[in-house]
Amino acid sequence: MSSLEVGKKAPAFSLPDENGTKVALSDLAGQWVVLYFYPKDDTPGCTVEACEFTSGLKGFEKLDATVLGCSPDSPEAHRKFIAKFKLKIKLLSDPSHAVLEKYGAWGEKNNYGKKSMGVIRSTVIIDPAGKVAHHYPTVKAAGHAEKVREKLAELQG
């Protein structure tokens, strides 16, 4: 299990986005970051979640927050996913699962009685000081983006 505790420093990361550009948590210091983990590009739940974060992006920008999705998919797969659904969020590629593991988003899943290792759909809100402000250890895709935006507004007081 991860050691994600509210008030503790969020684990550092540096991952390539859909264009192969490195995105590091340290580069985002001073702003709110919504980092959400999802299993796979262009699958039903992941598409719903990505589209909702995209359609709600203005709301996150008003709250000075950057939204980042992260999955084990390649930057190329991310580019196709973004193009197909006109996504406006950055998608990070973590094929080694190193960051997923640090954030408790990789582990045993139980799908219809079949156990397997995989991505646990979850979201972390990181404050401008780089600390964990809120953690959703498991997430239902539909309606999640709006819940996160409301929580962000609440956290900002």
Q: Which residues are catalytic?
A: 46
**Phi/psi at 139 (nearest 5 deg)?**
-135, 140
Residue with tokens 């959703």: 136
Q: 148: Cβ–Cβ under 8 A, 6 or more apart, which residues?
A: 34, 36, 123, 125, 136
d(CA 105, CA 76): 22
| Strand boundaries in 22-131, DSSP class E | 22-24, 32-37, 65-71, 90-93, 106-111, 114-119, 122-126
- In DSSP terms, which residues pair with 124 in a beta bridge? 35, 135
Structure tokens given for 110:
């139980």
Type of residue numbered 22: K
